[in-house]
Amino acid sequence: MEWRDEGIVLSARRHGETSAIVTLLTREHGCHAGLVKGGFSKRSRAVIEPGNRAHAVWRGRLAEHLGLYALETVHCHGAILLDDGDRLSAMAAALAVAEGALPEREPHGAVFAALEAFLDALEHEDLAPEPAAWGGLYVKWELGLLRQLGFGLQLNHCAATGVAGDLVWVSPKSASAVCREAGEPYRDRLLPLPGFLLARGGGAGTVGEVMKGLRLTGYFLDRHLFSPHGRAMPQARARLVERMARLANEPV
């Protein structure tokens, strides 16, 4: 069997002395691992760096086999972000969340496209110049990931009154928005809904808003995609939250 696709390197773990088991998020084949012979050799090490976009050729005798990857780099997002700790942590968080949340070998073209767009935005400072801007895009990417996997949040109208305005909370139970008036008596039990998630396009206005967004998506990612499998949320995401909290002067 053989297929060709484009993929983003999510992770690479050593196998033997120089080979690597590389997990790619591909456009048409979803999250798919494969063996790269000599992947950790001096010559090929740079190809399997997380965040790289690569042309992949996968070969295996049967579809369910691990198979062999032949990779050719198309673009190196990681190399551009190495010097910027904040953006690098956002990239690492997105890759770790994608790998932890997505089922293997299930195509999710929209998640691939969104991750690609997010990495592009991280790389081009003119597209997302401030932490609030790319942080907001990151939160929207996680929201899209939840939606793609069947756990989308309903943020169009209030779950209690049906009104479309003044939505400031999300119910952790129903994953639906709740307006200020209906939610006031239960405010301690509701999750704050940052305003930028209700607007089309663009990032957040402040890093504080991003923090609210990270808490919101973090809650549902953990509840639906990590805890049920007995897995903890990725450390890389926790480090991004720490960085954003520091930028927002908030406790984690």
Partner 1 sequence: MVGPGGIDALIQLLAKLPGLGPRSARRAALHLLKRRESLMEPLARALRDTADSVKTCSVCHNIDTVDPCSICTDPKRDRSQICVVEDIGDLWAMERVAGFRGLYHVLGGTLSALDGVGPEDLHVGGLVERARHPDVKEVVLATNATVDGQTTAHYIAERLAGTDVTVSGLAHGVPVGGELDYLDEGTITAALKARKPV
Shortest spacing between CB 245 and partner 1, in angstroms: 12
Scanning residues 65 to 84, which ones bind partner 1 (CB under 8 A)? Answer: 73, 75-76, 78-80, 82-83
Give how far Cα 24 sits from Cα of 3, 21, 250, Å. 14, 10, 35
Report, in Å, the least distance between residue 47 CB and partner 1.
Answer: 7
Residue 170 near residue 216 (C-beta atoms within 8 A)? yes
Of the candidates 201, 202, 210, 150, which has an alpha carbon nearest to the alpha carbon of residue 175?
150
CB of 124 to partner 1, least distance (A): 13
C-alpha of 35 from chain center: 24
Instruction: Find out whether 114 and 143 touch, Cβ atoms under 8 Å.
Output: no
Please identify, among the stretches 131-139, 146-154, 160-168, 231-239, the one whose residues bind partner 1 according to the rule CB under 8 A: 231-239
Kindly state whether residue 49 participates in binding partner 1, applying the rule CB under 8 A: yes
39 lines the binding site for partner 1 (CB under 8 A): no
CA distance 85 to 97: 18
Regarding 17 and contact with partner 1 (CB under 8 A), the answer is: yes
Rg of the Cα trace of the chain? 19
Binding-site ranges for partner 1 (CB under 8 A): 11, 13, 17, 45-47, 49-52, 73, 75-76, 78-80, 82-83, 85, 88-89, 91-92, 96, 234-236, 239, 243, 246
